[in-house]
Amino acid sequence: MHKKITDIFFDLDHTLWDFDKNSGLTFYKIFKINKVDVNVSHFLKLYEPINLNYWKLYRDEKIDKESLRFARLNDTFQALNISVNQELIHQLSKDYITHLSSFNHLFEGTIDLLEYLKPKYNLHIITNGFHEVQQLKLEKAKIDSYFKTVTNSEMVGVKKPNPKIFKHALQLANTTKQQSIMIGDNYEADILGALHYGIDAICFNYHKVSLDSKIKKVDSLTELKSYF
């Protein structure tokens, strides 16, 4: 990587924080608390694509936070042909947010990478996640101290890939587009969002999707060291 880079911006969920693993463990916990009799692995298989679809709608400003939290659960139970009343869905939705940060598995190589980068670069987070949850994730996973700034979409009022969130993050970090790079897993939100704004980007392609050959990508966090 060219020497001019001074600031590295990371996405959090699905990039450093192993969202799928932690989310799965949270569902096991909250179904037990609420005595919901469902096969969790079967539930997750249906829930994960439904959740991603609702996050896309949320990113595109088509639904609000409460709608996302309710509909992703409601749709999954409907797909499973399980009748669940609205009150329980609201309770599960609330419990999910409460307990999500009690599991803090990071992707393999996260701490090693942050330790490697911190002495040489200013590290930051840009996340579309909810403020109250994201801060807890950083603290409980014991990685908050690595980051100089954290920009979340609720602070700015828009979500990645909207250029305003990248602009806000650069201002907060007191840096420039030319000195910055974005690392994230989501092609549309993280990679195209950053590139369209004029920030270089590297895709952490753990989803193993086929990407344009011009896009810089890595399959593991450890591989990022070769760029810096």
Per residue, the 3-state secondary structure of 80-131, as one string, reads: CCCCCCHHHHHHHHHHHHHHHCCCCCECCCHHHHHHHHCCCCEEEEEECCCH
Supply the pLDDT for residue 208.
83
CATH number at residue 48: 1.10.150.240
Does residue 1 have a pLDDT over 60? no
Last residue of a domain, one of 81, 100, 119: 100
Give the containing element (helix H, strand E) for 57. Answer: helix 40-59
The reply to whether 52 falls in a domain is yes
Interval 83-90 mean pLDDT:
96
Mark which of 55, 83, 100 sits at the end of a domain.
100
Task: Tell me, yes or no, whether 111 and 217 share the same domain.
Answer: yes
Residue 2 located in a structural domain: no
Residue 130: the pLDDT is: 83
**What CATH number is attached to the domain comprising 167?**
3.40.50.1000
Mean pLDDT of 53-82: 95
* pTM exceeds 0.85, yes or no: yes
Which tokens in the block code for residue 175? 């840096």
Domain boundary among 47, 77, 100: 100
- Percentage of the residues of the chain whose pLDDT score is greater than 70: 99
| Domain range enclosing 200 | 7-18+106-227
pLDDT of residue 209: 84
Q: What is the mean pLDDT of residues 83-111?
A: 96
The whole-number pLDDT of residue 2 equals 54
Question: Does residue 153 have a pLDDT over 70?
Answer: yes
126 and 197 co-located in one domain: yes
Q: What is the mean pLDDT of the chain?
A: 95
In a domain, 1, yes or no: no
Confidence check: pLDDT of 29 > 80: yes
Mark whether 23 and 12 lie in a shared domain: no
As beta bridge partners, residue 202 has 183, 216
pLDDT of residue 58: 93
DSSP state, 69? H
Same domain, 57 and 162: no
pLDDT score at 131: 85
Residue pair 173/149 in contact by the 8 Å Cβ criterion:
yes
pLDDT-wise least confident of 7-16, 107-116, 209-218: 209-218
Tokens of 11: 């996405």
- Please tell me the total count of domains within the chain: 2
Q: Is residue 181 part of a domain?
A: yes
Distance of CA 96 to the CA centre of its chain: 16
pLDDT band for position 111 (cuts 50, 70, 90): very high
Cis ω before 119 (30° cut-off from 0): no
pLDDT average, residue stretch 44-69: 94
